């Protein structure tokens, strides 16, 4: 008996669904991470990239996508390219003008974090997106990590009871060449707005359903280690609406494994460490992340009683890949944004309040 290989293949493997054409604006560090994931993503296809630098355009050509020097020229070609959504991965100060241009053309936007460089800019983006009915998603990618999602579900179903206290560490040593770029030595380029905003967003997202919003921020910052204009370290206290308190420490000038990037293993260029970077404690239990150790009393509660440790093991999934899958689902109206612009705006407000509180030396109140 002979087999018709072509017929067999056709019968066995159905035609894969078409990949949704998307564009990328900004081919820097994080832009290229998105581009790499698009190359093998089953649901989205990168078809165009805009970056004013020759290096950015050369990169676009090297991965076989249309290269543009100006994002407006790319957007003018949206119809011909069949674009269904855009990723914006440009410097913070450009998020507003670039994002508004995308929204004006009715294109759903996955905006890199923070949503914008200022609260005014962020509000303008959210207002424009709402008025146009265009989805604005912000790339707080940790919300797409199965570890975060499991932790949020555990907390929502009462595993730790009412949140009481939390501690988050975001401390590492950034290498000296990182600071060759001037903006990383200036206000806004430090660990609070670059890194800690991810932890702030994650904590809000995890605790929010049980603890309410962050309503007060206290902080101290220091630039004593590197001596730059921007902070290299910060100590922060957050108060949540229902009374929970959280302390967050960040430093990019301290030797330390205690941070989400090294602990969670989201990106291969961070050597993973078997540690936790967040400890959450409530009226009924305590939970660590990213290892998802849950501590509870099986019987009577009290510090002399035995605690039971339960551990959740998860299959690992790349949150950046998951975020792209979500972008397509939102663009097609099948899902609501996991991190909508206004939610990310609140994380930006809390992060900016860290600087205000540190400068004033007193707590900053935020509306509940």
Ligand X SMILES: NC(=O)c1ccc[n+]([C@@H]2O[C@H](COP(=O)([O-])OP(=O)(O)OC[C@H]3O[C@@H](n4cnc5c(N)ncnc54)[C@H](O)[C@@H]3O)[C@@H](O)[C@H]2O)c1
**β-bridge partners, 166:** 246, 280
Asked if residue 63 has a cis previous peptide bond (ω within 30° of 0), the answer is no
53 binds ligand X (CB under 6 A): yes
Please pick, from the candidates 78, 115, 139, 344, the single residue that binds ligand X as defined by CB under 6 A.
Answer: 139
Structure tokens at 50: 């805009």
Please pick, from the candidates 22, 23, 27, 151, the single residue that binds ligand X as defined by CB under 6 A.
Answer: 27
112 binds ligand X (CB under 6 A): yes
With CB under 6 A, what is the number of residues at the site for ligand X? Answer: 23
Q: How far is the CB of 161 from ligand X (least distance, A)?
A: 31
Q: How far is the CB of 218 from ligand X (least distance, A)?
A: 25
30 binds ligand X (CB under 6 A): yes
Cβ-proximal residues to 143 (8 Å cutoff; 6+ apart), any chain: 149, 201, 202, 205, 319, 338, 339
Site track for ligand X across 82-101, x = CB under 6 A: -------xxxx-x---x---
Question: Between residues 52 and 82, which has the closer beta carbon with respect to ligand X?
Answer: 52
Stretch in the footprint of ligand X (CB under 6 A) among 50-58, 78-86, 164-172, 299-307:
50-58
Are the C-beta atoms of residues 215 and 240 closer than 8 Å to each other?
Answer: yes
Are the C-beta atoms of residues 160 and 154 closer than 8 Å to each other?
Answer: yes
Please pick, from the candidates 20, 51, 145, 249, the single residue that binds ligand X as defined by CB under 6 A.
Answer: 51
Question: Between residues 160 and 203, which has the closer beta carbon with respect to ligand X?
Answer: 203
50 binds ligand X (CB under 6 A): yes
Q: HSE-up of 27 (CA within 13 Å, CB side)?
A: 27
Cβ-proximal residues to 50 (8 Å cutoff; 6+ apart), any chain: 23, 24, 25, 26, 56, 67, 68, 69, 70, 71, 73, 74
Q: Does an H or E element contain 165, and which?
A: strand 163-171
56 binds ligand X (CB under 6 A): yes
Among 257, 181, 193, smallest CA distance to 231 is for 193
Q: How far is the CB of 122 from ligand X (least distance, A)?
A: 12
Binding site for ligand X (CB under 6 A): 25-31, 50-53, 56, 71, 89-92, 94, 98, 112-113, 139, 141
């Amino acid at each position: 008996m002979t087999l018709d290989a072509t017929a067999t293949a056709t019968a066995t493997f159905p035609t894969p669904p078409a990949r949704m054409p998307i564009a990328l604006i900004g081919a820097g560090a994080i832009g290229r991470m998105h581009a790499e994931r698009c190359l093998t993503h089953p649901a989205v296809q990168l078809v165009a990239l805009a970056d004013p630098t020759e290096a950015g355009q050369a990169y676009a050509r090297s991965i076989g996508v249309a290269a543009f020097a100006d994002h407006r020229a790319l957007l003018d070609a949206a119809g011909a390219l069949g674009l269904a959504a855009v990723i914006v991965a440009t410097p913070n100060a450009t998020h507003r003008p670039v994002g508004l241009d995308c929204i004006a053309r009715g294109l759903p936007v996955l905006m890199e974090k923070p949503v914008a460089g200022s609260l005014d800019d962020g509000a303008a983006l959210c207002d424009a997106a709402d008025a146009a009915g265009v989805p604005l998603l912000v790339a707080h990618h940790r919300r797409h990590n199965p570890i975060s999602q499991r932790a949020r579900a555990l907390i929502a179903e009462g595993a730790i009871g009412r949140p009481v206290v939390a501690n988050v560490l975001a401390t590492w040593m950034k290498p000296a060449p990182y600071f060759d770029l001037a903006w990383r030595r200036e206000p806004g380029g430090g660990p609070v707005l670059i890194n800690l905003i991810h932890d702030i967003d994650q904590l809000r997202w995890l605790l929010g359903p049980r603890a309410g919003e962050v309503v007060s921020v206290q902080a101290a910052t220091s630039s004593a280690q590197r001596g730059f204009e921007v902070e290299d370290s910060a100590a922060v206290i957050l108060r949540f609406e229902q009374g929970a308190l959280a302390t967050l420490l960040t430093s990019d000038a301290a030797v330390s494994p205690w941070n989400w990037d090294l602990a969670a293993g989201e990106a291969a260029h961070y050597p993973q460490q078997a540690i936790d970077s967040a400890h959450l404690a409530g009226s009924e239990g305590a939970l660590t992340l990213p290892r998802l150790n849950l501590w509870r009393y099986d019987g009577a509660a009290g510090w002399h009683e035995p605690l039971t440790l339960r551990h959740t093991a998860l299959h690992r999934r790349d949150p950046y890949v998951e975020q792209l899958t979500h972008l397509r689902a939102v663009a097609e109206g099948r899902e609501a944004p996991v991190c909508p612009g206004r939610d990310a705006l609140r994380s930006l407000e809390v992060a900016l309040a860290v600087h205000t509180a540190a400068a004033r030396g007193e707590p900053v109140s935020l509306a509940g």
